[in-house]
């Protein structure tokens, strides 16, 4: 099917205007999500197509030079969006090279035909390749929307190459924007599809990023940045299931800072917060990658040591305990000493064991450690019948 080229330009420009308006209205209220930059790109794209639509009826500087410079500007905004969505500094100097060189080349080569067309294609291909590169570099961890951007820019390169081949084969006249033929219809359709894919990909990347932030907030403690109670409890259930299936040992330790109320009362709550952060940092630095540490409550931490024997857990926790007791927190230049007591369940979970039951046994051991004078470790097995 051969479509009427000016009609394609007009309809795509109209749709792009509406989408750009929506993105600019929404993006304006929250500059951080990059939506306004995506909207600016789409607006430049809509203007490009509005100029292309006039080809043959308006001066060439408008329908070719300005139009291609606007198209290059659209790609520049899309590139910038990739960085803004990730809240990274935008390399504007590099990005703006595209539209500037396009503007200069189009001004210099306006009176030529093939060189002008090839130069425009070369700049656009370079910009699309950069978008592919930056989309990969700025992908959201665990996300897939960047793939849409990469595919969109990749297909765009393919579409431009069709034009290049046509121009080099002496068919430049057939690729004029006011000519309607099959090759032109395919090339324009590819251009339209790819810009929609890139736009949608960028909007979805922004969504993925916000989802990532919300998920992090839902599962992490803001003070220590450790997994919060919900996250560490879910991890506990997973570890119990795994240990039961593999018949392997699991150590579940409840760590409680000693006399924490006194630290708060003596030095203030900010100092208490600093102690919690300091302890979390020290413990995290000394644990294995397979171990899980979370903030269970106020001054309590839950530590899970999978595949760890009673002896191994005792050595690891005693090492943590003595390290924390000998590393005071520095708060406003003043050292604050702290220590912790810890109750540990260590064993192969039975069929009746749940997170709550193992925690109950570790908590009972912790109570014993507190009763015995604090800064101590007690094993649940030593007293649970």
Ligand X SMILES: Nc1nc2c(ncn2[C@@H]2O[C@H](COP(=O)(O)OP(=O)(O)OP(=O)(O)O)[C@@H](O)[C@H]2O)c(=O)[nH]1
Active site residue ranges: 299
Residues 6+ away with beta carbon under 8 Å from 24 = 36, 39, 40, 43
340-347/377-379 β-pairing:
parallel
Q: Judging by DSSP bridges, how do beta strands 292-297 and 340-347 pair with one another?
A: unpaired
| Nearer CB in complex with ligand X: 273/381 | 273
Closest CA to 351 of 245, 249, 253: 245
Could you tell me if 190 and 158 are in contact, meaning their C-beta atoms sit under 8 angstroms apart? yes
**CB 354 → ligand X: shortest distance, Å?**
25
Give the residue, chosen from 34, 191, 227, 272, that forms a contact with ligand X under the rule CB under 6 A.
272
260 binds ligand X (CB under 6 A): yes
Q: Is 363 in the site for ligand X (CB under 6 A)?
A: no
| 4 vs 269, beta carbon nearer ligand X | 269
Decide if 16 contacts 42 (C-beta within 8 A).
Answer: yes
Is residue 273 within the footprint of ligand X (CB under 6 A)?
yes
Assess 225 for contact with ligand X (CB under 6 A): no
How would you classify the pairing of strands 377-379 and 329-331? unpaired
Q: Using CB under 6 A, which of 298, 315, 332, 371 touches ligand X?
A: 298
Q: Out of 161, 165, 182, 223, which residue is the one contacting ligand X (CB under 6 A)?
A: 223
Stretch near ligand X under the rule CB under 6 A, chosen from 36-44, 208-216, 233-241, 255-263: 255-263
CB of 332 to ligand X, least distance (A): 14
Alpha-carbon distances of 274 from 76, 224, 281, 361, rounded to whole Å = 44, 9, 10, 30
Interaction of residue 259 with ligand X, rule CB under 6 A: yes
For the bound state, the minimum distance from the C-beta of residue 297 to ligand X, rounded and expressed in Å, comes to 7
Compute the 3-state secondary structure of the chain and give helix, strand, coil in percent, each to the nearest 5: 65, 10, 20
- Binding residues (CB under 6 A) for ligand X: these are 223, 256-262, 264, 269, 272-273, 276, 298-299, 370, 374
């Amino acid at each position: 099917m051969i479509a009427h080229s000016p009609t394609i330009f007009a309809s795509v420009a109209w749709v792009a205007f509406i989408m750009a308006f929506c993105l600019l209205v929404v993006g304006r209220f929250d500059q951080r999500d990059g939506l306004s930059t995506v909207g600016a790109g789409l607006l430049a794209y809509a203007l490009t197509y509005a100029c292309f639509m006039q080809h043959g009826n308006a001066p060439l500087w408008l329908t070719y030079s300005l139009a291609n410079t606007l198209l290059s500007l659209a790609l520049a905004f899309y590139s910038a969006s990739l960085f803004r969505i990730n809240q990274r500094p935008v390399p504007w100097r590099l990005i703006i090279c595209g539209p500037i060189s396009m503007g200069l080349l189009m001004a210099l080569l306006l009176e030529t035909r093939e060189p002008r067309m090839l130069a425009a294609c070369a700049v656009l291909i370079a910009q699309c390749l950069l978008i592919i590169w930056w989309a990969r570099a700025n992908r959201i961890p665990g996300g897939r929307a960047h793939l849409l951007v990469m595919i969109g820019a990749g297909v765009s390169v393919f579409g431009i190459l069709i034009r290049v081949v046509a121009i080099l084969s002496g068919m430049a006249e057939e690729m004029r924007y006011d000519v309607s033929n099959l090759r032109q219809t395919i090339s324009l359709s590819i251009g339209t599809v790819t810009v929609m894919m890139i736009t949608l990909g960028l909007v979805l990347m922004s969504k993925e990023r916000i989802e990532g932030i919300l998920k992090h907030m839902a599962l992490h403690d803001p003070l220590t940045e450790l997994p919060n109670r919900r996250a560490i409890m879910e991890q506990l259930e997973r570890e119990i299931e795994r240990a039961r299936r593999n018949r392997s040992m699991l150590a579940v330790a409840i760590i409680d800072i000693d006399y924490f109320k006194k630290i708060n009362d003596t030095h203030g709550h900010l100092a208490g917060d600093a102690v919690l952060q300091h302890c979390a940092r020290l413990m995290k630095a000394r644990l294995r990658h397979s171990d899980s540490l979370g903030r269970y409550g106020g001054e309590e931490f839950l530590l899970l040591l999978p595949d760890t024997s009673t002896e191994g857990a005792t050595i690891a926790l005693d090492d943590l305990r003595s390290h924390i007791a000998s590393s005071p927190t520095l708060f406003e230049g003043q050292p604050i000493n702290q220590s912790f007591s810890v109750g540990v369940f260590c064993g192969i979970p039975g069929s009746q064991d749940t997170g709550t039951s193992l925690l109950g046994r570790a908590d009972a051991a912790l109570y014993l450690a507190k009763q015995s004078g604090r800064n101590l470790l007690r094993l649940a097995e030593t007293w649970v019948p």
